[in-house]
Structure 1
Amino acid sequence: MSIIINGGGITGAILALMLSKLTKGDVEISLIEKHSPYCCDAQLSLNICPPQVIALSRGAYSELIRLNVAPILSSCSTIIKQVEVSEYPWFNKVLIKARDYQLSELGYVIELNIFRKRLFDILCNQSTVTVYCPAILKKIKREKKNNIIILDNGYQIVSKLMVAADGAYSELATNCGMQWFRWNYQQIAVVSKITTEIPHFGRAFEIFTEHGPLAVLPMSNDYSVLIWCISDTRQKEVSIWNKNKFSQELQNIFGWRLGKILNVERRFFYNLWLTRAHSHISHRLALVGNAAQSLHPVAGQGFNLGLRDIVVLSKVIVQALYQNLDIGDYSVLNKYQKHRYLDQCRIIKITDGLVRLFSNHHLPLVVTRKMGLFFLSYSTLLKHLLVNVILNWKTD
């Protein structure tokens, strides 16, 4: 039995490692990735590589710990001890502290450039994993009982199952005729590393503004990462702001929660879309992570959702192996799709609903939002419900 994973980003790398451990050598895994994770070192030193981070829930972190990657996780993660949610310019805010729930943390911020490089170090030492990097998928031959992948160097790989883990608008899935629902939020995410007068002490912030949410997440060495969502009509205006102007505008919205903003590093701009594949499976093909669905960054749910895709697909594959079934058979893959449907729909509705709710300027909704944050900030029961959503880890 053999599996091809196209995409050696964090999603594909974790899937390869998980399958290698769960199948105990019964499956040969081929991981194809066009960009080496080691090339980012030079880019980071030149400040031309964007700060790539993910917010990881406690449940998701625990799932990764089961892969025996605790040392590398701890080396590139920052604990979130407190989350503050508010709406600009109103003063209502919801404060969630880990210690109020007898927890040491609410979640983690993972620095992907470091994590991915160290995952590759582990994968290259797995006897059942072959890493093709840098390599590009050039041609696919889909046959009844196998797939044949031809790489740009002419190398051919035969597999029972292909997994698209190559992100939104997946090249592999596109070549196999898959289609996506797409919704343009007409927003741009401005991403940068910032330093502040007061250390973050593990505090994370989400501020909803009329143009989109603004998140500040804690990082190592007292850096914070800024994810500021603005209307796409303002991209040109914001892109020409000098560092002082940008810092002033950011300070006006973020306030003095961490004191004065001392420095803003290079800014990177990303268009924000909701994408969801019409089907997450096809003939000997499964989609995971951003290839299956790509979300707005509000509430930081995207990677956690994609990780649950990985967990469920891995379990379905292992179960099929033990039952001597063809791991690429449509009936096997359909179990994965059915098992993931409700969770995917729920998270998409939550994130999409938040974006639409806080981007709407109709007076009744503005009043409702203000009242909602007011009651949430004073209601223990509502806070507990919100915390359960943040900490929850379910794959169905």
Structure 2
Amino acid sequence: MSIIIHGGGMTGAILALMLFKLTKGDLEISLIEQHSPYCCDTQLSLNTYPPHVIALSRGAYYELIRVNIDSILSSCSTVIKQVEISEYNRLHKIFINAQDHQLSELGYVIELNIFRKKLFNFLQKKSSVTIYCPATLKKIKREKKKNIVTLDNGHQIVSKLIVAADGAYSTLATNCGMKWFRYNYQQIAVVSKITTEIPHFGRAFEKFTEHGPLAMLPMSNNFNFLIWCISNKQQQEVSRWNKKKFSQELQNIFGWKLGKILNIETRCFYNLWLTRAQSHISHRLALVGNAAQNLHPIAGQGCNLGLRDIVVLSKIITQALYQNIDIGDYSVLNTYQKHRYLDQYRTIKITDGLVRLFSNHYLPLIIARNVGLFFVSYSTILQRLLVNTILNWKTD
């Protein structure tokens, strides 16, 4: 049997890897990706292209370790040992330390530009995996028992199942008639690579500001990755700031925990929306990752949620393959959707609730937030609940 994965970013590449490992090469895998993972090398070296990073929970990281890519992960990962959560101009802070929960780490920051390139190199050596890159899907014909995909070079691929792993507003899913619920947060994420005076020592920071959350994540070579959420109204003003002005404003908001901000590299701006597919399956089609749901970065849960999509779908497909069941059959896809519904619903609700809670300036809510931060900062039980439920870090 065969499967097509449309999208060779982190989601699609990891899905291809997991399916290869679980099926031991018995499943023919075709991976279609429009952009080569090597195309950004020159831009990165010239500082004209920002690094793309994600924060993975400890549990998510070790799920990847199980497919034996330790060397790939270690080459592009930075350990998170402590997280500090605070609200701008408020006294109470929450410190979550790995040691306090008998852990060696809380999570990892993965540099996707490096990870994706090495993962492609790994997959290209596997006989049952065919990578079409750069390539664009031009046409899909969905028949009763198969999909026929035509690429921009005229090449055709036939499969029992096709997976949309091409991110938010998936081109594939849109062409197949899928619909999404969309909510505009009226916020912009400013991302950049930052150099600071004091090393991060594996510390991550999340500060809730007047206009949205600001996160600082540790990277290799003592760089930090900034994700600063601002209102739409501020974008025009912030985009006009030169490096000196941006550094000053960021320093005022973030503070001096990492000393003086020494340098800010290329800044990019991204609109922030909540998107959720009305259905995550269709005829011989499954959606995973951001194609299924795209979350606000406030709690860093989007990629962790997408990885759980991949893990569940991989196991269900493998089980169907070895039971000689058509992997694109509705019963197989419906099993995937049912298994993922509760986790997806709960994670979306928590993330969306946090955005609304910390973006609201209603006085009783401000008081409630501060009371909440006070109690969590002094309660081991509440901190463990925060780790297990909100931040979704496994502690077992």
Alignment match, 1:371: 371
Distance 1:50 1:279 in 2: 33
Taking the TM superposition and a 5 Å limit, the aligned residue runs for 1:95-174 are: 95-174=95-174
Cα drift, residue 324 of structure 1: 1.3
Alignment match, 1:195: 195
Alignment match, 2:275: 275
8 Å contact kept, 2:387–2:394: no
Secondary structure of residue in 2 paired with 1:39: coil
Unaligned runs of 5+ in 2: none
Alignment match, 1:88: 88
Distance 1:125 1:362 in 2: 57
Distance 1:393 1:153 in 2: 45
Alignment match, 1:356: 356
Secondary structure of residue in 2 paired with 1:37: coil
Taking the TM superposition and a 5 Å limit, the aligned residue runs for 1:308-387 are: 308-387=308-387
Distance 2:215 2:46 in 1: 25
Distance 2:91 2:264 in 1: 25
Alignment match, 1:288: 288
Does 1:60 find its partner at 2:60? yes
Distance 1:45 1:329 in 2: 46
Alignment match, 2:10: 10
8 Å contact kept, 2:6–2:164: yes
Secondary structure of residue in 2 paired with 1:259: coil
Amino acid at match of 2:264: V
8 Å contact kept, 1:192–1:268: yes
Cα drift, residue 319 of structure 1: 1.1
Alignment match, 1:27: 27
Query: What is the TM-score normalised by the length of structure 2?
Result: 0.98
8 Å contact kept, 1:106–1:391: no
Amino acid at match of 1:134: P
8 Å contact kept, 2:281–2:334: yes
CA deviation string 1:123-168 (max 9, x = no partner): 0001100000000000011100000000000000000000000000
Does 1:221 find its partner at 2:204? no
Alignment match, 1:40: 40
Secondary structure of residue in 1 paired with 2:40: helix
Does 1:251 find its partner at 2:251? yes
Cα drift, residue 387 of structure 1: 2.0
Query: What is the TM-score normalised by the length of structure 1?
Result: 0.98
Distance 1:323 1:120 in 2: 30
8 Å contact kept, 2:107–2:393: no
Distance 1:63 1:127 in 2: 24
8 Å contact kept, 2:140–2:147: yes
Secondary structure of residue in 2 paired with 1:38: coil
Amino acid at match of 2:62: S
Distance 1:82 1:311 in 2: 27
Secondary structure of residue in 2 paired with 1:345: helix
Secondary structure of residue in 1 paired with 2:20: helix
Cα drift, residue 391 of structure 1: 5.0
CA deviation string 1:217-255 (max 9, x = no partner): 000011000000000111000000111111111011101
Name whichever of 107-116 and 322-331 sits farther off. 322-331
Does 1:298 find its partner at 2:298? yes
Cα drift, residue 392 of structure 1: 3.9
Distance 1:221 1:250 in 2: 21
Amino acid at match of 2:246: F
Distance 1:372 1:83 in 2: 17
Does 1:236 find its partner at 2:236? yes
8 Å contact kept, 1:30–1:130: yes
8 Å contact kept, 1:57–1:304: yes
8 Å contact kept, 1:58–1:391: no
Distance 1:347 1:51 in 2: 26
8 Å contact kept, 2:106–2:393: no
CA-based RMSD? 1.0
Secondary structure of residue in 1 paired with 2:47: coil
CA deviation string 1:20-52 (max 9, x = no partner): 111112210000000000111111011122220
Alignment match, 1:204: 204
Secondary structure of residue in 2 paired with 1:328: coil
Distance 2:62 2:380 in 1: 26
CA deviation string 1:91-136 (max 9, x = no partner): 2100011111221111000000000000000000011000000000
Q: How many residue pairs get matched?
A: 394
Kindly tell me: are residues 172 and 351 of structure 1, through their superposed partners in 2, closer, same or farther at Cα, counting changes over 3 Å?
A: same
